[in-house]
Amino acid sequence: MTGDDIPEPEAREKLLRSKAQWAEDGRLLTGRPDLGHVNRLPPGQRLVTNWPVLDLGAQPDVAKENWRLRIGGLVENPVVYTLDQFFALPQCETVSDIHCVTAWSRYDNRWNGVATKTLLDIVKPKPEARHVLFQSYDGYTTNVKLAVFAEDNAILAHSWEGKPLTREHGAPVRVVIPDWYFWKSPKWITRIEFVAEDRPGFWEVRGYHNEGDPWKEERYS
């Protein structure tokens, strides 16, 4: 990271190329799925106690007064929230493990924010809505099935371990969908769109799996 918003193109290119190469090579695959979740650590993962930072080389500095969350597409009630409005929604707390496709896992992360279920009750997806597309302030995108978005432990988090998220981890608000590899949990979220047809996101078009179940080791496509 350079500390400003403009990533060094060379560093960014290098990172993208090496991570795309991992997918091509099938790096880290063990071929030992843990479908029954016998172990707490999914196959091929190692436990860390720090919290690594992964991004595309830019960490947007979103001023609180400018932050907006737009939720639309195939819904009955599209919404646009300011940060104050987002904080005024019913709040919840979850504790979950992180599993990153680069093979680190981190246990027992305490998140505070708004449950995705709460947002679903408000926007009311139409019956044709089957997939959810995320867009972030750094240009990152990712996609999940509506049923994954609706999981009980999925949250739009503003705090981690009782403190506001830091910029590097996605402030002011990030998505956390803990039962899937962490690239499905976009930082600096600004738009959520409900759609009928799936649309692969940033890593999904670069060799990464469309679903990303860590227990089945769905790292690459």
Q: How far is the CB of 48 from Mo ion (least distance, A)?
A: 13
Angle made by CA atoms 86, 88, 93, in degrees to the nearest 5: 80
Nearer to ligand MTE, 127 or 162 (CB): 162
* Residue of 150, 153, 159, 158 lying closest to 132 (CA atoms): 150
Could you count the other beta carbons within 10 Å of the beta carbon of residue 107? 13
Instruction: Report the distance separating Cα 107 and Cα 217, nearest Å.
Output: 18
H/E stretch holding 46 reads strand 46-47
Q: What separation in angstroms does the CA of 174 have from each of 127, 186, 192?
A: 26, 6, 12
CB 146 within 8 A of CB 137: no
Nearer to Mo ion, 134 or 183 (CB): 183
Q: Which of residues 144-163 bind ligand MTE (CB under 6 A)?
A: none
Query: Backbone phi, then psi, for 118, in 5-degree steps?
Result: -60, -45
Asked if 52 touches ligand MTE (CB under 6 A), the answer is yes
Which of these segments, 2-10, 113-121, 181-189, 210-218, binds ligand MTE (CB under 6 A)? 181-189
Asked if 54 touches ligand MTE (CB under 6 A), the answer is yes
Q: Which of residues 39-98 bind Mo ion (CB under 5 A)?
A: 54
Q: How far is the CB of 169 from ligand MTE (least distance, A)?
A: 4
**Of the residues 158, 187, 206, 209, which one makes contact with ligand MTE according to CB under 6 A:** 187
Residue with the two structure tokens 């918003």: 5
Asked if 131 touches ligand MTE (CB under 6 A), the answer is no
Q: How far is the CB of 183 from Mo ion (least distance, A)?
A: 4
Which of these segments, 4-12, 69-77, 108-116, 135-143, binds ligand MTE (CB under 6 A)? 135-143
Q: Which residues of this chain interact with Mo ion, rule CB under 5 A?
A: 54, 100-101, 183
